[in-house]
Structure 1
Amino acid sequence: MRKKIPSLNALTIFEAAARQQSFTRAADELALTQSAVCRQIAGLEQYLGLPLFARIKKRVILTPAGRQYAERIRVHIDRIERDTLELMAQQDGGGVLELAVVPTFATQWLIPRLAEFSRLRPDITLNLLTRTDAFLFSESSFHAAIHFGSAAWPGTQGHFLLSEGDTIPVCSPALMAQISKAGRSSKNGPGIRDIANLPLLHLTTRLNDWRTWFELHEYRNDVPAVKGARYELFTMLVSAALAGLGVALIPRFMVQAELDAGILVTPVELSLPGSAGYHLVYPEEHASFAPLAAFREWLLSVAAASRNETER
């Protein structure tokens, strides 16, 4: 049993009086009498054992303790109001969906498609926060997650969305032009030897990708393959390639828009096959949560259409 929590009514009145710096204005805001506000504040001060306001003639001023308490209480009251409104919005299947998602998948694939979901379900607010590692749903506020990998997430239900597909080398057109200008490319364009002589950009979690790529295409390049700048996220890797800092190995679907726009190019058409993919996962107890059910139905449909388009 919680014994040291004042009544919510008293805290609401105190927050209003602290914000207004006036018992009279707080009474007007809350549709109460001034004497009711005074009684609630006096009762709260007696409960806490210290003054929250200094009474100076006909004015009230927050004490240092009162100011600190008001700032903290305001955060909690705002959260209670927000949580209540979110819960009330679920009456018609709407509400707020908290989704953890892999950063680059969010920026390069999911977010560009979310306008359609927002149009179909304007009553659902989708909050995205990035997570790159598995976590315990019981210790977080997330309803679901989109994660990358080849194994199931323990303790969850899951749906396959997309295979990562082939990973390809990409660079800026300016860097591509430098290769030709230096005379290192053949009449058929740059070759694997040209790539080996360029700055190679790496993802910190996949430091063996370049070595694997060279080995797959029968070109031994052990030392240069592990040298070069490292970046934590694919979004950083894309930006570095756009800036002309080197050649990066990036899944094709993550840079298709940049390739179509001509701001990134593939210096050689030699890829690294991928076997892992992206999955929507959530605890079993969240399966019937209305906003998640609506998002799940839409997401699986869009992912299936994307897979079919890729396979054509």
Structure 2
Amino acid sequence: MKRSLRAALPSIDTLIVFEQAAQALSFTKAGAQLGLTQSAVSRQMIDLEALLQVALFARERQRLKLTEAGAEFRELIRPVLQDLRAATLRMQMHAVPNNVLNVSVAASFCNLWLIPNLPGFCAQANAPQVNLMPHVGPVVFGANAIDAAVVNAERPPEHCEYLKLCDLEIGPFAAPSLLRRLGVGRLEDFGRIPAVDIREGNGAWPRYLAHVGLSRIGIDCVASHSLLLLSHEMAVAGLGVALLPPEFVASGRAPGALKRLHPALLALGRSYYFCWPAASKKRETIQALGLWLQRELQVARARGSRVRKG
């Protein structure tokens, strides 16, 4: 029975070699990626085709192409290999000590606020090692080897513990170079605003202008993004005026500093939450990070910039 089962199924190594060859469409390149010779890759693929009794590759004029069966087989085994890699990583994570936290972080929050400020947390006595994994969209703890997450959402995530870090509130920011070019210094000075818009903001620019009593100002949308990170980079490049949380923005003479054009903020009806599985064995360490995030974000909002001056 053991010999029969072994003969009926390809090895994991063979499937990995096939996946690499299907991606590279070259036995030579696949071998270089895997530390194998071209002939070793070719032999494994010939044996795999013999086992499956179908041609996986078409060899035409020294060019390699996937056959229809090869493309189908690649799609069939892809989730198998992904699940195997995820299961291996998950088991390996059992050996990770409690002083290491793997945190999945909303991409804009990660790049614009957490990374510039994280050294302040890591400098504390007995601080854990924090590994960051930026994400876009929801986080599912059961399917990932993560200990905690920072999410941007309308309400607290379900089936986990959480701390509310801050509400998502935005105001207008622009690069000094753009303001000099247009000859303006305040939001009130604009006749029409070259606006960088937020797609999920439900008409954020008209709402903001109405909020501050400046609906008379026209809007020319120069770009529309789903990520605050991209809106920030557009503003830094001097391409338009962006609505951003003040704690995401460098001020003063810092590299990439933006000028705030109005003191009022508009609430988007969303918040940043720090959440973690209720049964986490690292609960105490996770909470320490969450409380630090909560405190530092309040300080950043109060000073109106993302990092401490000096």
2:261 aligns with one of 265, 268, 271: 268
**1:112 correspondence with 2:116:** yes
* CA displacement 1:194-241 (0-9 Å, x = unmatched): 33423122111114221122112222238x347442122111111111
Assess, with a 3 A threshold, how the Cα gap between structure 1 residues 87 and 112 changes in structure 2: closer, same or farther.
farther
Distance 1:158 1:116 in 2: 22
Assess, with a 3 A threshold, how the Cα gap between structure 1 residues 173 and 156 changes in structure 2: closer, same or farther.
same
1:288 aligns with one of 280, 283, 297: 280
Which structure has the greater CA radius of gyration?
A: 1
Aligned CA RMSD, in angstroms, stands at: 4.9
Asked if the contact 2:121/2:292 (under 8 Å) is kept, the reply is: no
Q: Percent identity?
A: 20
Distance 1:16 1:250 in 2: 44
Q: Which runs of 5+ in 2 are unaligned?
A: 19-33, 38-43, 54-68, 304-310
Assess, with a 3 A threshold, how the Cα gap between structure 1 residues 195 and 88 changes in structure 2: closer, same or farther.
same
Asked if the contact 2:161/2:276 (under 8 Å) is kept, the reply is: yes
1:107 CA displacement:
0.6
Distance 1:128 1:5 in 2: 41
2:298 aligns with one of 278, 282, 307: 307
Matched residue, 2:164 = 160
**1:197 correspondence with 2:188:** no
Asked if the contact 1:86/1:96 (under 8 Å) is kept, the reply is: no
1:118 CA displacement:
6.4
Matched residue, 1:28 = none
1:288 CA displacement:
1.6
Q: Which amino acid aligns with 1:300?
A: L
Matched residue, 1:56 = none
Alignment of 1:27-38 (within 5 A): none
Alignment of 1:83-162 (within 5 A): 84=88, 87-88=91-92, 90-91=94-95, 93-94=97-98, 99-115=103-119, 120-122=127-129, 125-131=131-137, 134=138, 137=141, 140-141=143-144, 143=146, 144-162=148-166
Assess, with a 3 A threshold, how the Cα gap between structure 1 residues 116 and 130 changes in structure 2: closer, same or farther.
farther
Aligned pairs, number: 262
1:116 CA displacement:
5.9
Q: Which secondary structure does the structure 1 equivalent of 2:193 belong to?
A: coil
Report the TM-score when normalising by structure 2. Answer: 0.61
Distance 1:115 1:294 in 2: 17
Report the structure, 1 or 2, having the larger helix content: 1
Assess, with a 3 A threshold, how the Cα gap between structure 1 residues 283 and 118 changes in structure 2: closer, same or farther.
same
- Stretch moving more, 203-212 or 262-271: 262-271
Q: Which amino acid aligns with 1:148?
A: N
Distance 1:267 1:13 in 2: 56
